[in-house]
């Protein structure tokens, strides 16, 4: 009898506490005045609608944009092996990747300030594969690939051939005929950009607080997560503004460029989806927010899959050895990136098996056949229902 009464008392207290918590949640004052979704158009600048009552912008794109510029600066350094005919330093690449030891210098052609990046407090390494339990293994592999790039860069004066690193046309290949710079660049599209934007900020990041401002800031953590995702994709106020299927209207690099090049059906819808999702955050409309996040994530994954298939196709249609080697280097990088396509259910084994079957033989690129390439294309098309 006493046991039963005890349970009744505990149950009553639990219900009272639950009721109290529910009431508090319902009584939270929204941070912002709601925004009508009809204000969102394909040309609405990302920041324009999101202004606090005192007139201050609630959008801060700096951390996302800084990481984007770090990626640009790293890629520029990698290109020096061919552009400047020089050997690269693995330590410099690793330091740029981790933003350690003030590795950045000004790059006027990219409007990059080295001192600003050195002081930015952000890096690529710690957000690479950060959604994955084996993320450190991915980051360690990237560090090792920088070492491989440094080694192959010593061969800038040689001619590439089977078993010999060197240039094929303007492309620098390792002894297996793989263009290491393309593997790095395209692998980071998946391991850094796709994984951090899609699997962290637009997935786990959607559960962040949206009821209070981050201390000392003008935005909630949820608002900032969404803004950082946009800033990591593009530097432009309107992503792919004025683009047509034939002409890309803005300067975009990395994932943003390939969304336009290889996902013609959806590229024009990405920007309004980002703006609409940000409006949904203002409106505390989690259903709409998740709808827009899922759309963006799905279409970015398709862009990577289509890119992998597209470059495998360019190997088949290439008319020179250099063009075919360049195509397969890009394809291998994109295939590595497929492992971060979690909406599509891809894992590391799927990526690794494809790469092994393509170029895992002793002579890599030099051993490629139509059958090997066709098998990879078929597997990707089937997995992504392309």
Higher-pLDDT residue of 53 and 104 is 104
Instruction: List the structure tokens of 209.
Output: 């607080």
CB distance 329 to 180 below 8 Å? yes
Tens-place pLDDT, residues 282-330: 999 999 999 999 999 999 999 999 999 999 999 999 999 999 999 999 9
Q: Quick check: 374 pLDDT over 80?
A: yes
What residues does each domain of the chain span?
A: 62-384
Does residue 273 have a pLDDT over 50? yes
Where does the pLDDT of residue 156 fall: very low under 50, low under 70, confident under 90, or very high at 90 and above?
Answer: very high
Provide the pLDDT for residue 30: 79
Q: Which residues contact 370 (CB under 8 A, 6 or more apart)?
A: 316
Q: How many CA atoms lie within 13 A of 57 on its CB side?
A: 10
Buried b / exposed e over 202-215, threshold 16 CB at 10 Å, is bbebbebebeebee
At 98-129, the pLDDT tens digits run 999 999 999 999 999 999 999 999 999 999 99
Other CB atoms within 10 A of residue 122 CB? 18
pLDDT band at 29 (very low <50, low <70, confident <90, very high): low
Q: What is the pLDDT of residue 28?
A: 52
Task: Say if residue 17's pLDDT is above 60.
Answer: no
pLDDT of residue 33: 94
Contact of 201 with 192, CB cutoff 8 Å: no
Residue (of 361, 355, 362, 360) closest to 376 by Cα position: 355
Strand pairing class (166-168; 171-173): antiparallel
Query: What confidence score (pLDDT) does residue 6 get?
Result: 41
Rounded Cα distance, 15 and 223, in Å: 32
Beta bridge partners of 168: 171
């Amino acid at each position: 009898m006493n046991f039963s009464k005890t349970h009744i008392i505990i149950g009553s207290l639990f219900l009272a506490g639950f009721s109290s918590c529910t009431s508090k949640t319902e009584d939270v004052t929204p941070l912002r005045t709601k925004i009508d979704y009809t204000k969102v158009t394909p040309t609405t600048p990302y920041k324009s609608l999101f202004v606090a009552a005192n007139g201050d912008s609630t959008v801060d794109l700096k951390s996302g944009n800084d990481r984007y510029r770090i990626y640009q600066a790293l890629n520029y350094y990698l290109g020096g092996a061919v552009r400047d005919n020089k050997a690269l330093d693995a330590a410099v690449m690793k330091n740029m990747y981790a933003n350690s030891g003030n590795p950045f210098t000004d790059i006027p052609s990219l409007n990059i300030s080295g001192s600003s990046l050195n002081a930015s407090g952000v890096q690529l390494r710690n957000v690479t594969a950060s959604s994955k339990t084996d993320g450190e293994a991915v980051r360690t592999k990237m560090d090792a690939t920088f070492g491989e790039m440094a080694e192959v860069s010593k061969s800038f004066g040689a001619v590439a051939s089977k078993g010999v690193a060197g240039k094929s046309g303007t492309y620098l290949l390792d002894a297996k005929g793989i263009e290491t710079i393309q593997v790095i660049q395209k692998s980071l599209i998946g391991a850094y950009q796709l994984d951090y934007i899609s699997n962290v900020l637009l997935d786990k990041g959607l559960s962040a607080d949206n009821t209070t401002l981050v201390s000392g800031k003008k935005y909630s953590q949820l608002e900032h997560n969404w803004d950082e995702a946009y800033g990591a994709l593009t530097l432009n106020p309107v992503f792919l503004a004025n683009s047509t299927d034939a002409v890309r209207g803005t300067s975009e690099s990395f994932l943003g460029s390939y969304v336009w090049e290889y996902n013609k059906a959806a590229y024009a819808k990405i920007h309004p989806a980002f703006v609409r999702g940000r409006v949904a955050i203002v409106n505390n409309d989690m259903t709409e927010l998740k709808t827009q996040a899922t759309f963006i994530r799905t279409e970015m994954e398709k862009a990577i899959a289509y890119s992998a298939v597209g470059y495998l196709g360019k190997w088949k249609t290439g008319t020179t050895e250099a063009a075919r080697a360049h195509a397969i280097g890009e394809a291998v990088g994109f295939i590595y990136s497929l492992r971060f396509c979690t909406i599509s259910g891809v894992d590391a084994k799927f990526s690794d098996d494809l790469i092994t079957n393509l170029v895992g033989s002793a002579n890599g690129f030099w051993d490629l056949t139509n059958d090997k390439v066709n098998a990879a294309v078929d597997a990707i098309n089937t997995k992504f229902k392309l």
